[in-house]
Structure formats: C-alpha cells, structure tokens
Amino acid sequence: MAMLVVAGAAIAADQITKEIARAQVALGEAVEVTSFFALHHVRNTGIAFGLFPGAASPVTILTAVAVAWMLFYFARAGARHPLLPVAFGFLLGGSVSNLADRLRQGYVTDFLDPVYWPAFNLGDVFITVGVAVLLAIFVAGERHPRLHRRGPARG
C-alpha cells in the first residue's frame, strides 16, 4: 500500500508541474532562475536527461517492461526492507508518469534545466532518487549480511 501512495503522489506532482511548465513557459523558451538554473520548456523523445533522442517507441516499450518488472519484483520482495516501498514507489511513479506522457503525446515535457546538465522533470528526479535509495539498501545489506538461521558456522 505504501508503494502505491508514494507512486500516486509522484505521478501527481510530476503531472502537475509539467502542466504548469507547459502553461507558463513557451516551448523552447528558457526563464533564468539563477545563473546556474533555468526553467526551459523542451520536448524529450528520448530517455531521462535527453539521452537517445528520437527513440520514443523503443523507450516506451522498455519503460512498460520496467514498470511490469518493478510491480512483479515488489510483490515478491516488498517486505524485505522498510524503505523498499518508498524506493519502488518513486521508481514506479516517475516511470508511469513519463510513460503516460509518451503514450499520450509521443514525448515527455522537461523543464528543470541546470546549465551543466540536460533538462529533466520531476519524474526523472523520482526515478533517480528511487534508484539511489535501492542502491543504498543493497549496499547496506552487503555491509551487514543477515545471519544464517542455522546459527554460526562451526569449525
């Protein structure tokens, strides 16, 4: 349930901010916020951060497969760590929101533009944070392996 709440909140936040960006910033226009950050309305037919532009069909298919895998994996592994629902919720929410854009429009609206990095959107942020949390969970798990149920090895 927690995963779905996080995913729903991520989808809502991403879709609302994209709609605001489309309504307030003309396509191609950039509004400087600071010397290192702008709101820049662009259409992204590639994947996160503008990688592989023009690959909308393969990206849509891969995203749909990734969403299905996340749902399957979480159904099997969701209770293993208390942060897994949050991590998968962010991943699922960001992925579903961007997938909905691709299916509806054929592209994703990006608008957050640090001058040193390609423009992106909140869905990309949620995906990135979800991956970072998953990596932290797995790294922490490797650093603190579970004890075997049979007890310590005798030797």
Q: Provide the annotated active-site residues.
A: 110, 124
DSSP code of residue 42: E
Q: How far apart are CA 54 and CA 13, in angstroms?
A: 26
Amino acid at 129: V
Tokens of 140: 């922490």
Strands 30-34 and 108-114: unpaired
List of residues 6+ apart from 123 with CB closer than 8 A: 10, 14, 93, 94, 95, 97, 98, 108
Q: Judge whether 133 and 6 are in contact, CB under 8 Å.
A: no
Q: How far apart are CA 108 and CA 122, in angstroms?
A: 11
